[in-house]
Amino acid sequence: MDERAILHYFRKQLVYRVTDFLVDNPGKDYSKQDIAKGAGLSRATVFNHWKMLEASGIVKMTRRFGKTRLYQLDTENEITKKMLELERYLISAVIRK
């Protein structure tokens, strides 16, 4: 496996874990450090890839106090809408069985 494939894999895992944490906690906002902890990721990993998460529109800043910025899932983003739709579908499919 080449280095780009490994990097791509870890980025996908980061997106999945951050998204999963934020989906499980709708309407709440968190610091990057809290998101890292809640997603089971290292603070460094989240901080190093945060710009990618913001640029993709998966997360959005909701407010700040002092130097701390708080974020939540951007439910208006098309990517996020599709992820939420998929999650609802999967949950309903499991419940129907």
* pTM of structure: 0.79
Sign of the four-CA dihedral 67, 43, 6, 15: negative
The number of distinct structural domains making up the chain is 1
Residue 12 has pLDDT above 80, yes or no: no
Residue 24 has pLDDT above 80, yes or no: yes
For residue 24, what is the domain's CATH number?
1.10.10.10
Confidence of residue 5 (pLDDT cuts 50, 70, 90): low
Residue 22 lies in domain: 3-96
Name the most confidently modeled range: 28-32, 53-57, 75-79.
28-32
Residue 6 has pLDDT above 50, yes or no: no
What Cα–Cα distance (Å) separates residue 50 from each residue in 1, 4, 45, 66?
Answer: 25, 18, 8, 19
